Amino acid sequence: MSKPIKVALAGAGAFGIKHLDAIKLIDGVEVVSLVSRELDKTRETAAKYGIGHVTTDLADSLALKEVDAVILCTPTQMHAAQAIACMNAGKHVQVEIPLADSLADAEAVLALQQKTGLVAMCGHTRRFNPSHQWVHKKIKAGEFNIQQMDVQTYFFRRSNMNALGQARSWTDHLLWHHAAHTVDLFAYQTGGTIVAANALQGPIHPTLGIAMDMSIQLKSSTGAICTLSLSFNNDGPLGTFFRYIGDSGTYIARYDDLIDAKDNKIDVSKVDVSMNGIELQDREFFTAIREGREPNGSVAQVLPCYRTLHALEQQLVKSA
């Protein structure tokens, strides 16, 4: 076996833990450095996962010669600058979704990736969930064509809390984070480009300063349409539900699970080597590094999503 890929992981919150659990299942990969803002908690997590180096400063991890790659699970507002810092240090980088919270920052990350030739990938996990992979394979085989996607992304987050119910140091965003999943997936699954996009948002939260409800319409160059409803006000059920309405069936995906229109469960366990979308995402990142190729979900591939988000933001600013 080739030498292990040594990884630094920044951000030991809810999603950082998901990546640490996933990497434990992947041969030939070792997390050697953990970065997070609270040193004592970070040390506890590092001890649990057998990680030798702990710091509160990403620069300390980037200075380690043995680090080959970095996974960023940090606050959205830090993603672009940190991705650039990683590549400037000669490290491959996977940025958790979203790549950035502005188009200019996303384009800056891509420009540096193209200059360095390093692997730079964004965590658009829906490309890797077995449920969505199953649909994608059916489309590629010519057995299913999307007519419409109807998507609901619902959470109950009237304060800064993460997926584990813990306090966050930053504010999440429906457009630049949660909508990014669907905007990218819609283009990826239809195989087209987004030719029309419209958005409406509800009232701005007086404390958080963000819209807590949003509605987005998309149209693909293939003719397919998408309706996306997002809310931080929804008191359950929580999560994201994707309804694929096509020319030969209807399928409903929720993360790694898939059912048909009659509520029959579809077995997606043989679609890939795991049923864990995060693990599959990480496997793609490390395989691309070993093979010296562009990964599925590369910064270049997902950039059109951020162009669409930018256009939607401009609409919302004008209508405010």
Look up the pTM and report it: 0.94
pLDDT-derived band at 169, boundaries 50, 70, 90: low
Which residue's entry shows tokens 């995060």? Answer: 278
pLDDT (0 to 100) of residue 167: 60
- How far does Cα 181 stand from its chain's mean position? 6
The predicted-structure confidence for 258-269, as pLDDT tens digits, reads as follows: 999 999 999 999
Superfamily of domain 126-274+307-319: Dihydrodipicolinate Reductase; domain 2 (3.30.360.10)
Contacts of 62 (CB under 8 A, 6+ apart): 8, 70, 85, 86, 89, 91
What is the domain partition of the chain in residue ranges?
5-125+277-298, 126-274+307-319
**Could you give the percent of the chain with pLDDT greater than 90?**
87
pLDDT (0 to 100) of residue 147: 98
Cross-strand pairs, 260 = 251
Distances (CA, A) of 53 to 18, 22, 156, 193, 235: 19, 19, 35, 43, 40
Structure tokens, 243: 């309804």
Residue 163 clears pLDDT 70, i.e. is over it: no
The predicted-structure confidence for 172-221, as pLDDT tens digits, reads as follows: 789 999 999 999 999 999 999 999 999 999 999 888 888 899 999 999 99
Mean pLDDT, the chain, rounded, equals 94
Helix (H) or strand (E) run with residue 201 in it: strand 194-201
pLDDT (0 to 100) of residue 171: 63
Which residue's entry shows tokens 């958080």? Answer: 208
Residue 275 clears pLDDT 70, i.e. is over it: yes
Residue 165 clears pLDDT 70, i.e. is over it: no
| DSSP letter assigned to residue 12 | -
Which residue's entry shows tokens 């509520």? Answer: 263
Which residue's entry shows tokens 């669907």? Answer: 182
Structure tokens, 38: 């609270």
pLDDT (0 to 100) of residue 1: 53
Helix (H) or strand (E) run with residue 55 in it: strand 53-55
Helix (H) or strand (E) run with residue 240 in it: strand 239-246
- How far does Cα 105 stand from its chain's mean position? 16
| DSSP letter assigned to residue 261 | T
The predicted-structure confidence for 56-97, as pLDDT tens digits, reads as follows: 999 999 999 999 999 999 999 999 999 999 999 999 999 999
Which residue's entry shows tokens 């030739």? Answer: 117
Structure tokens, 173: 């965003």
Letter string b/e over residues 219-257, b meaning 16 or more CB atoms within 10 A of that residue's CB? bbebebbbebbbbbebeeeeebebebbbeeeebbbebbe
pLDDT (0 to 100) of residue 237: 83
Cβ neighbours of 286 (radius 10 Å) = 23
pLDDT (0 to 100) of residue 164: 54
Backbone phi, psi, residue 116, to 5°: -85, -30
Q: Which fold has domain 5-125+277-298?
A: Rossmann fold (3.40.50)
Please answer whether residues 266 and 173 qualify as being in contact, where contact means their C-beta atoms are separated by less than 8 angstroms.
no
